Structure 1
Amino acid sequence: MDGQPTVHPDASVLDRRGLDQLIETLRARGYCVVGPTVEDSAIVLAELESGAQLPSGWGVTTGPGTYRLRRRDDAAVFGHSAGPQSWKRFLHPPRQQQWSVDRDGAFIAPAPDERPYAFVGVRGCDLAAIAVLRRVLCPDPDSDSTTARRFRQLFIVAAHCTEPGGVCFCASMGTGPAAGPGYDLALTERIDDNGHRFVVEAGTESGAAVLAEVAHRTAATAEVDEARNAVSTAAGRMGRAMPEVDLHALLRDARGADVWEDVASRCLTCGNCTMVCPTCFCTTSEDVTDLTGEHAERWQHWSSCFEPDFSHVHGGNVRTSGESRYRQWMSHKLGTWFDQFGSSGCVGCGRCIDWCPVGIDITEEAARLVQLMPAYRPEDDREQR
């Protein structure tokens, strides 16, 4: 009909109440719904009992070694960049019991956490990180392991990013700001004179089935175009960028570069970068006993390649210096990860920059390597030199 806006058959619109209803619907289906909320002066991930717990009106200011909450001038719930926690903590818990045994020989296997998870507000960088973890932790995705079941049962509500933070560089890593494949539903948040709403796309049949239970309307083509434009525009507003070179080859050739000692002089080898990284997966095990010696347990917990004894073998540690440990971390993350898993281990979320106590910036360190390696400098830069 003349004068009526054209509609987009593959997209819908939820209002703010519709988002709350989406969370209610997922909980009614038996999911443990996890999403962003405000706690301890940060936006963290926690189980949501209702949409009222979302960080309405909160944003963040980020930079090397800097993270601060700030009040927004609107009620956006996804108007913030990555916080200190990633979704990894639910898929690959930081600490979990493997078994326990009593002196009489009674062996007890812990009851696995079988709750299906629904993640709400997953950014493009973190969606890519979940895909990386799936490849690393589930070489056989159809196995009956607790981890494989956890991934199979996962329901993802992604959030296309329209406001990148000061340390974000997902665009240069090809992981954002638009969420790639792997989501069940994807939201683009918009607030303007027409109200607070979310343009929704279904990525799976499961996503479409859940959306059908939530009050929504068909999106107008103009709404979809405006939402997509907001996301594509965000790609040009990243706070950082990784150099446009073959990082795999660069890190291989830069092993002896005159830069590692300098960065090691600033690095505290605290391991913060590996703890906040959404793809670091290394673990170790420890055995503990009670004071009587009657009961023992084995626990698995996250480990870090920055720990002095991480590379311990018979005869001592392989990497004894901070220089060698930082080089190992960066070389694996950006280089040899390709050899093991077929992709980069970095998704451009910027958490390692945010939460480094001394503000070491992985994109700056990569750029320094480019300048030190003549073969990787841009042609015009080489000519000037």
Structure 2
Amino acid sequence: MTDPENTVAVPGAPTEAVLDRDGLDELVRVLVRRGRTVIGPTVRDGAIVLDELESADALPYGWGVELEAGQYRVRRRADQAAFAHSAGPQSWKSFLHPERVRQWSAERRPDGVLSVRPEAPQSVSYAFLGVRPCDLRAIRILDRVMGGGRYRDPAYLSRRTGAFLIAVECTEPGATCFCVSMGTGPAADAGFDLALTEVVDAAGHRFLCRSGSPEGAAVLAELPRRDADEPTRAAAASAVSEAAERMGRSMPPVDLRTLMRDTLEAERWDDVTARCLSCGNCTMVCPTCFCTTTEDVTDLTGDHAERWRRWDSCYDLDFSLLHGGPVRATPRSRYRQWLTHKLGTWHDQFDSSGCVGCGRCIVWCPTGIDLTEEAHALHQEATRTESAP
């Protein structure tokens, strides 16, 4: 994994340069030649999705998005920017922690002997192109959850170890973005091999590129490039700074962990329950939600069986099922569990928030529930309660 704390220079290799579209094209080719599967954004089925890229031509040049609570639309842009869009329906979790993973298979031979074959972790060398700073943080959170501590997930580590991360700093936040509130963007400060900042202005279309690891510097050395110039640096810094001032959403300026702890009986939970469908969309699109369950399947003969691990959601009534029934039997308790864990008790388990401010849960909620709105409402209710005589 990339060292999230240090930027290491390779002697003689560039640490910063300017690429044009030819340089971006060559970046994909270099990574493919190095045996990596390159994953990046592309336009398909009316959305900007993550998929394998054979060349940089598949990037969503000239496409942007319009986002709002419960709404997502792609739109044409007036320029040919490749990364001027916000988070789509997928996150990099889909590749590092796939929706379904087979754990073992079993065969019963004609003589009745049963043999069980564990599933070997998939060997894949990924290169992720276009990782937003909020998603960089999400990957670091998953590293802590699934790659740290006593219970490490070999399937996750087989995909994550050695993955090459190419960050793209945000220059055009969406209406549902709130990474500034969570301290996760729009600038990329650590955890990448290469970081790009796209600049489209009167001087042309280009990418300020800087390395964040030895392999990143080595890859950059193979690309057609020119020395970083001060006008490009200034334009890139200005674009990122302006993006920070144009966030579409924000969290209340309070300690969210304390807010969640102190509002467990707030009336606001009843309001959101009236709108929540308990569909689990928010957990499916969240880049840090990691819960799974297992399911066993067999063929009609009963001679072949498999166990699969698949994503699960705390909104599922059976998620907390015990012998006496579900622990969280009401939509109110399930939504409260999700939000208080994400913003509050995640700190107790993993020493960080579980939210990175990407806004996916807002966009892909069919009823438009907005967790930033809920946090503000809980804060206002708590303030009224404290000031009441």
Q: Same fold (TM over 0.5)?
A: yes
Pairs aligned (count): 372
* Alignment deviations for residues 145-190 of structure 1 (CA, whole Å, 9 cap, x no partner): 3422322211000000000001000011100001231000000001
1:211 equivalent in alignment to 2:220? yes
Amino acid aligned to 2:122: D
Residue 58 (1) aligns with residue 67 (2): no
Asked if residue 71 in structure 1 is aligned to residue 44 in structure 2, the reply is no
Give secondary structure in 1 for the equivalent of 2:319: coil
Give the aligned partner of residue 11 of structure 1.
16
TM-score normalised to structure 2 length: 0.93
Q: What is the distance in 2 between the residues matched to 1:261 and 1:99?
A: 43
Q: Aligned-pair distance for 1:225?
A: 2.0
Instruction: Give 3-state SS (helix, strand or coil) of 2:318's partner.
Output: coil
1:193 aligns with 2:198: no
In 1, are the aligned partners of 2:121 and 2:158 still within 8 Å (CA)? Answer: no
Deviation at 1:143, TM superposition (A): 7.2
Query: Is this contact kept in 2: 1:64–1:167, CA < 8 A?
Result: yes
Give structure 1 regions of 4+ aligned residues with deviation exceeding 3 angstroms: 140-144
Partner of 2:268: 259
Aligned to 1:229: 238
Secondary structure in 1 matching 2:305: strand
Name the aligned partner's letter for residue 95 of structure 2: F
SS in 2 for 1:175: coil
Residue aligning to 1:5: none
- Alignment partner for residue 321 of structure 1, among 317, 330, 333? 330
Unaligned runs of 5+ in 2: 1-13
Comparing 104-113 and 320-329, the one that deviates more: 104-113
Paired residues of 1:141 and 1:148 also in contact (CA < 8 A): no
Which amino acid letter does the alignment assign opposite residue 120 of structure 1?
L
How far did 1:193 drift? 1.9
Whole-Å separation in 2 of the counterparts to 1:38 and 1:270: 26
Q: What is the CA–CA distance in structure 2 between the aligned matches of 1:280 and 1:91, rounded to whole Å?
A: 12
C-alpha distance in structure 2 between counterparts of 1:167 and 1:265, whole Å: 22
Partner of 1:309: helix, strand, or coil? helix
**8 Å Cα contact 1:370/1:376 also seen in 2:** no
Equivalence for 2:138: 129
The reply to whether residue 181 of structure 1 matches residue 186 of structure 2 is: no
C-alpha change, 1:122 and 1:50, in structure 2 (3 Å) is same
Is the Cα contact below 8 Å between 1:250 and 1:376 reproduced in 2?
no
Q: In the aligned structure 2, how far is the partner of 1:146 from the partner of 1:303?
A: 17
Where does the alignment leave 5 or more consecutive residues of structure 1 unmatched?
1-8
Deviation of the 1:217 alpha carbon? 1.0
Are 2:164 and 1:155 aligned? Answer: yes
- 1:99 corresponds to: 104
CA distance in 2, matches of 1:134, 1:118: 16
Q: CA deviation at 1:259?
A: 1.1
Give identity over the alignment, percent: 59
What is the alpha-carbon distance in structure 2 between the residues aligned to residue 214 and residue 111 of structure 1? 36
Cα deviation for residue 140 of structure 1 reads 5.2
Determine the structure 2 residue equivalent to 1:4: none
Residues 199 and 232 in structure 2, CA contact (< 8 A), matched pair in contact too = no
Q: Distance in 2 between matches of 1:331 and 1:14?
A: 43
Would the aligned equivalents of 1:114 and 1:146 in 2 still touch at CA under 8 Å? Answer: no
CA RMSD of aligned residues (A): 1.8
Q: Does the CA contact (< 8 Å) of 1:128 and 1:180 recur in 2? A: no
User: 2-side partners of 1:272 and 1:85: how far apart?
Assistant: 12
Q: CA deviation at 1:223?
A: 1.4
Q: Find out whether 1:167 has 2:176 as its counterpart.
A: yes
Which has the higher mean CA deviation after the structures are superposed, 137-146 or 26-35?
Answer: 137-146
3-state SS of paired residue (2:361): helix
